[in-house]
A and B are shown apart, each in its own frame.
Chain A
Amino acid sequence: DSGVTQTPKHLITATGQRVTLRCSPRSGDLSVYWYQQSLDQGLQFLIQYYNGEERAKGNILERFSAQQFPDLHSELNLSSLELGDSALYFCASSVVEFPYEQYFGPGTRLTVT
């Protein structure tokens, strides 16, 4: 158990819908990262937050947005869902000391039908 929690574990929804994925980082970690992993694909970095502020952006679609709240939990919002958005979505948090290794949550498996 990494200490990072994600809900829900599974999500099945239809095309065109909107969903929200939730993540709570490990106690003491200020950074939260979101990744997408499609079948047989590598982890694609979406976005990073640090202490409530957006820190870095990867290949995140305009239909996707995220935020980090004062209690440091984060939410990833996916809207106008398409079949191709079906994937595992991981959240990770990183330690505050160098080398800032990341610890991953168990992931949310999203299936868009």
Chain B
Amino acid sequence: GQNIDQPTEMTATEGAIVQINCTYQTSGFNGLFWYQQHAGEAPTFLSYNVLDGLEEKGRFSSFLSRSKGYSYLLLKELQMKDSASYLCAVRATSGTYKYIFGTGTRLKVLA
């Protein structure tokens, strides 16, 4: 089966660093994506990983280990506006390409 697991909720303090983990089991793998979604709004693309290792993009970094089926999103210097859901998605390859999304991690940033 295809499965993506993320923690449901996390809380962190403004200015801190938070790591959101994602584990996946999919048929085939062609990339892992992170999206940010504010309540009632559309998801917006944050980052992707195709090869193992760390990808850095400003305050956001994403890590991938394909052998472990594991990724994390690291957010530094947290701001109040980072309060949102963070969705982990895998582009799976099982005949055709499909995007499988996790249920998301709701992050609350406290002052």
Interface residues of A (CB under 8 A from B): 2, 33, 35, 41-45, 48, 55-56, 58, 88, 90, 98-107
Query: Per-residue 0/1 for B82-104: is the Cβ within 8 Å of any A Cβ (1 yes, 0 no)?
Result: 00000101010000111111111
Q: Closest CB of chain A to B110's CB: distance in Å?
A: 21
Chain B residues lying within 8 Å of A107, measured Cβ to Cβ, are 41-42
Q: When A42-B104, A43-B87 are in contact, do A102 and B42 touch as well, CB less than 8 Å?
A: no
**Chain A residues within 8 Å of B104, by CB:** 42
In the complex, number of A-B residue pairs with CB atoms less than 8 Å apart: 56
Contacts of A106 in B (CB 8 A): 41-42
A2 and B44 form a contact (CB under 8 A): yes
B-to-A contact residues, CB < 8 Å: 30-31, 33, 35, 40-45, 48, 50, 87, 89, 91, 96-104
Which residues of the other chain, A, contact B103 by a CB distance below 8 angstroms? 41-42
Q: List 7 A-B contacts (CB under 8 A).
A: A35-B101, A42-B87, A42-B103, A43-B87, A90-B42, A102-B33, A103-B45
Residues of B within 8 A of A48 (CB): 96, 98
The minimal Cβ–Cβ distance linking B38 to chain A, given in whole angstroms, is: 12
> In the complex, A104 Cα to B100 Cα: how many Å?
15
Roughly how many angstroms separate A61 CA and B48 CA in the complex, as a whole number? 30
Residue of A nearest to B6 (CB): A42
